[in-house]
Amino acid sequence: MKFSEQLWFPGGVLLLCAAGVQLSVPALSAAEPFLTGFALLALAAGAVLGGMYNRSRPVASLAVIGAAAWLLPALYTADGAPHWQPQTLALLLPLNLIVFALLPDRGLFARTSLLAATPLAVQAVVLLVLPRGANPWMEGQLAYAPMPSGWFQWSWVGEPALVAFGAAAILLAGIFLWRRRPTDRGLFWLLVAAFAGVHGLHDPRLAMLYFGSGALIVSVSLVEHAHAMAYVDALTGLASRRALDEFLPQLHGRFALAMVDVDHFKRFNDAYGHAAGDQVLRKVAGQLETVGGGGRVFRYGGEEFSVVFAGRSRKDALPHLEALRARIEATGFSLRGSLRPTQKPAERRALPRAGRHVHLTVSIGVAELSEKLASPRLVIEAADKALYRAKQSGRNRVQAA
C-alpha cells in the first residue's frame, strides 16, 4: 500500500463517512437511535482487542475517549462561559494522548501501564467531585487568550486547549511518520475524531457520532496490528512467507517467481555482527521494492527473498531482475552504528565503520508456472534450484530454471 493510502486509510475514510452522516439530515436522524449503542460497541470491541493483543496504548486511549464521551456532554453548557470543568477536560484529552504516544507500550499489566492508569482515575474524580465554581483561578487560566479573539470565535474551547490539540496533532503525525505502525496512525485519527466530537457538543448526536468513530478507528487499528503481526515481516516491513503462501494459490494464469539470496551473508553476519546483518537485510529489502515489471516482494526467510510477477512469464521477468541485480551491485550500503564482530576473526581484517560503504551482491533464480511446474510449490522448488546454480556458477547473477 502506498504511503498516502497508509496515512488516510482507514481512519481518514471513517471520519469522512462520519462527516457525511453529519451533513445529511436524513442520515443523522436515521442514525440517532443507534449512536449510543454504536459508541459503546466500538469501545467494547477496542477494549477486547486490546486485551487480546496486550496493547496498553490503545486501551488507555479508549479509556480517555470513553470518559470524554461520558463526561463532556454532562459538563458542557452552551452559554459560552469558560467553566473550568469542560475546558479542563478538553485540555486534558490531547495531553493524555500525547503521554500515551510517548510511553512505551509494554502490555496492559506492565508497571508503566498501571502507573498511567492512576492519573486518569484521579482526573475523572476531580472533574466530577469539585463544583463548577470551585476554582476561579483555574477558570482564569483556561480562559487565557493572548491571540486575537477573532481567530477562535468558531470554537467554545479555550486557546490553551486548542494549542494542545494542535501540538498533539503535530506530534502524533510525526510519530506515525517515524514508526509507521497502524496503532500510531489510529491514535492520530482518534485525536482528530476527538476534536470533532468536542466541537459537536451543541448536538449530543454529533458528539456521540465522532467519539464513537474515534473508538472504531482505534479498534480497526488493532485489527491492522494483528494482521501485520501475521503477514508482515517485522525486520524489513515486507510481506512475510505466510503472505506468499496465501498469495500464490490466488493467482490464476501464469506467473514468474524469483528467489533472491544475499551473497556471502552468513560470512558477513559472523564477521560484523547481527546488527550489521539486519541493516543489510533492510537495505536489500528497500532495493527489492524498486523492482520493475509489477514484481511483488516477500521475505522468504533468513537472507532469502521472493519476487512474484503475476501474469508474466520468466522471459518477461528476466530484464527486471537483471536490472535489480546490477542496481544492488552498483549501489552499496552505508552501515550505521557501532559495529563489532560477534567473535574474534581468524585473521586480522579491517572492520566496516559506521558510515562506511559496503558493497553487496545478490544471486537470483527464476522459474514460471508451466505444464511441468504446475503448482506454486513446484515453481518455488525450481526457482530455488536455479538460485543454487547461480551461486555455484560464481554468484552475482540471474539464473533461469
Q: Which residues are catalytic?
A: 303
Helix (H) / strand (E) element for 256: namely strand 255-262
Sign of CA dihedral 314, 315, 321, 322: positive
Evaluated on CA atoms 64, 59, 166, 18, the torsion sign reads: negative
Q: Indicate the length of the chain as a whole number.
A: 401
Q: Are strands 362-368 and 255-262 parallel, antiparallel or unpaired?
A: antiparallel
What the block records as the C-alpha cell of 91 is 485540555
Euclidean distance between CA atoms 70 and 231, whole angstroms: 37
Close Cβ partners of 187 (under 8 Å, ≥ 6 residues apart):
57, 58, 61, 97, 100, 101, 172, 175, 176, 218, 221
Enumerate long-range contacts of 152-155, CB under 8 Å, 24 or more apart: 155/199
At 239, phi and psi to the nearest 5? -60, 145
Question: Which amino acid is located at 86 in the chain?
Answer: P
Q: For 51-75, b where at least 16 C-beta lie within 10 A, e where not — what string?
A: eebebbbbbbbbbbbbbbbebbbeb
Grid cell 502524533 — which residue? 172
Closest CA to 229 of 13, 29, 54: 54
Cell numbers found for residue 397:
547473477
| Among 351, 328, 315, 356, residue whose Cα is nearest residue 261 | 328
CA distance 383 to 254: 15
Query: Rounded to whole angstroms, what are the CA distances from 237 to 21, 228, 257, 277, 299?
Result: 36, 9, 20, 16, 9
Cα–Cα distance, 112 to 106 (Å, whole number): 8
Listed in sequence order, the residues at least 6 apart from 234 whose beta carbon sits closer than 8 Å to its beta carbon are none
**Distances in whole angstroms, Cα of residue 57 to Cα of each of 42, 93, 116, 191, 380:** 16, 14, 10, 14, 41
